[in-house]
Chains A and B, each alone.
Chain A
């Protein structure tokens, strides 16, 4: 079973700062099948990054993804007020078919 671990659990930052979120897998994950989502209270998740580093349609370029194997990173440059939310990583193709990480909350310092 592939388990995704996200760190930190909570990240307290100010607008304009850079956020670095980590996602670690218990076994190697294909980069093609690693995604990141943003979720705000009361809303469905929104796809940010797919294939570990490709931005989804309409996602600002301050969001970037990187990594391979078992270690992946989501970076948000110059945090905007609307970026304060919970972020989840997700893998596809292992066992179980989909796995989500527990999430990282980015809140305002």
Chain B
């Protein structure tokens, strides 16, 4: 069974930093592109970042470029999101998401809530 389990969310002050982790199981993690997608309270889905299998290709949404950093450790079946200079508008549930061949997300984690407040 495919499982994605996020951790690391919490309350952080405006301007602060946080590191999210996602542990994958039930599939060959190193074979899949991975993403982070977020959802602000009561709002829609927003793609945040993409990382290819070998980490050679990385993309970010303009809203987080220069502040967030995605990485992965295939030996540990883990995906990370380092978030710096956090803003109030970064408050959201952050989902770890596995990308399938057609560019869709076929598995999602349960999400971890990040609350940014002064």
A residues adjacent to B (C-beta < 8 A): 32-33, 35, 37, 39, 44-47, 50-51, 54, 56, 88, 90-93, 96-103
Contacts and interface: CB of A to CB of B under 8 A. Distances in A.
B106 A92 contact: no
Interface residues of B, number: 21
A100 B44 contact: yes
A45 B104 contact: no
Interface string B28-48: 000000010100000011110
A89 to B, nearest CB: 10
A100 B95 contact: no
B103 interface: yes
Contacts of A88: 44-45
Nearest to A48: B104
Interface of B: 35, 37, 44-47, 50, 59, 61-62, 95, 100, 102-106, 108-111
B34 to A, nearest CB: 12
Contacts of B35: 98
B66 to A, nearest CB: 15
B106 A44 contact: no
A33 B102 contact: yes
Contact of B102 (A35, A39, A46, A96): A35
A105 B45 CA distance: 14
B103 A96 contact: no
A99 B103 contact: no
B105 A35 contact: yes
Contacts of B111: 44
B104 A47 contact: yes
